[in-house]
Structure 1
Amino acid sequence: MPAEAAADTEVRDTPAEVDAAFRTQRGIAIAYFLVFLVLVAAFPVLTITLQWWTGARVFGELSPGFVAAAGGLYLAFAVIGIAAARLSASVESRMLGGQQHPDDDAGGSAGSGEAPQ
């Protein structure tokens, strides 16, 4: 009997819901990859265009470019990774597994607040 009860409460997402969640997750991944790419590509550009990026000294004999590469990029990548993971988890929890409970009305999604497509 417990196996039947577990099967009744199991949440099943439709293929359309899974596809929409996948497309949203792919968009998030592409957006954060572009941010990552801009950060990485900025260093050669800054080195070529700004003399003070490699010529100035901020901490002892360390240039701003070295300080940014040695510490700033790691911090930026950690922030980007955490933000992407939290956003992806939030999107997945909102888009998947949210079907109605059996005790809710059988009226469908009329009151769910979702826009029809």
Structure 2
Amino acid sequence: MEPPKRFPHPEQDEPGGPGEPFGPGRLPADGFDPEEEFDSPEEVDAVFRSQRRLVMARVVWLILLVLGVPIANAWWPLWWNGWAGVPVTPAWAVAAGGGLVALWLLGVQHARMADRVERAMLGRRREDDDV
């Protein structure tokens, strides 16, 4: 007795058949052709260096934000004592959500800048190479 085939339709056994997402003469549903765009190793290295600079700048901001709260607690009495008539001290405001909002904004800004760098530096089309 013959074992069952993986694909019930005979055309699906060949590469690029209806069961395969890629193949000769077939594009994926989103229309992206992996052969249409390419990047040289030098371009990829340049993008890596740019992304590394972006990350290091964000790490500095992250360290300042994380260490800024305890430093403010130690050196600035109004940070944890508060002002007269204000029900919430700045330390509580940062702990309750201000720090999380700042971290979220830092992450969103980094993601947008990193995407912008990648779009600007990568994704050259083959016909652009002749220019």
TM bucket by the smaller chain?
0.7 to 0.9
Deviations 1:10-52 (A, max 9, x none): 2110000000001101110111111111011111111111111
For 1:2, give the aligned amino acid: G
TM normalised by structure 1 equals 0.75
TM normalised by structure 2 equals 0.68
C-alpha RMSD over aligned residues: 2.3
Gaps of 5+ in 1: 109-117
- Corresponding residue of 1:44: 70
Which ranges of 4 or more aligned residues in structure 1 deviate by more than 2 Å? 57-60
Residues 1:2 and 2:2 are matched in the alignment: no
Residues 1:74 and 2:100 are matched in the alignment: yes
Q: How far apart, CA to CA, are the structure 2 residues paired with 1:38 and 1:87?
A: 20
Q: 1:94: how far off? A: 0.8
Q: 1:80: how far off? A: 0.5
Gaps of 5+ in 2: 1-23, 27-32
For 1:75, give the aligned amino acid: V
Q: How far apart, CA to CA, are the structure 2 residues paired with 1:98 and 1:26?
A: 21
Higher share in helix: 1
Q: How far apart, CA to CA, are the structure 2 residues paired with 1:44 and 1:26?
A: 28
Rg: which structure is higher?
2
Instruction: Compare relative contact order (CA 8 Å, sep 6+) and give the higher one, 1 or 2.
Output: 1
